[in-house]
Amino acid sequence: MLIIKVKVVLKKINSAALHEAYAYVAGLSACVLMWAVLHNVYFYHIQRVGMRLRVAVCHMIYCKSLHLSSSAMGKTTTGQIVNLLSNDVNRFNQ
């Protein structure tokens, strides 16, 4: 919308129109800058939520492995627990 207004204003070149065109260009630049800042802030917070979720899942798996009975611990290998912590939790990063 701002680009259309800039094109219309530039067609009627005079001093007042030129100042109006500069105002529209400044508005467009401010919108792009604001979008870039908000976009980066949004992804920063989403990544923080993802990392917290990953840590929470790792914590749940770790606590569950500590509460396993000795018979269940005999059936579960260390490799299975490591697989849960590495491969399955990494799916949250995707």
Confidence class of residue 10 from pLDDT cuts 50, 70 and 90? low
Exposure class string for 7-24: b at 16+ Cβ within 10 A, else e: eebeeeeeeeeeebbeeb
Q: Where are the chain's structural domains?
A: 1-93
pLDDT, average across residues 1-6: 70
pLDDT digits (tens, 9 = 90+) for 38-56: 999 999 999 999 889 888 8
Query: Residue 2 pLDDT > 80, yes or no?
Result: no
DSSP state at residue 86: I
Distance, in Å, from the CA atom of 83 to the CA atom of 77, rounded to the nearest integer, reads 10
Distance, in Å, from the CA atom of 72 to the CA atom of 75, rounded to the nearest integer, reads 5
pLDDT digits (tens, 9 = 90+) for 15-43: 777 787 788 889 989 999 999 999 999 99
Consecutive H or E run containing 42: helix 15-66
- Model-wide pTM > 0.85: no
Confidence (pLDDT) at 94: 65
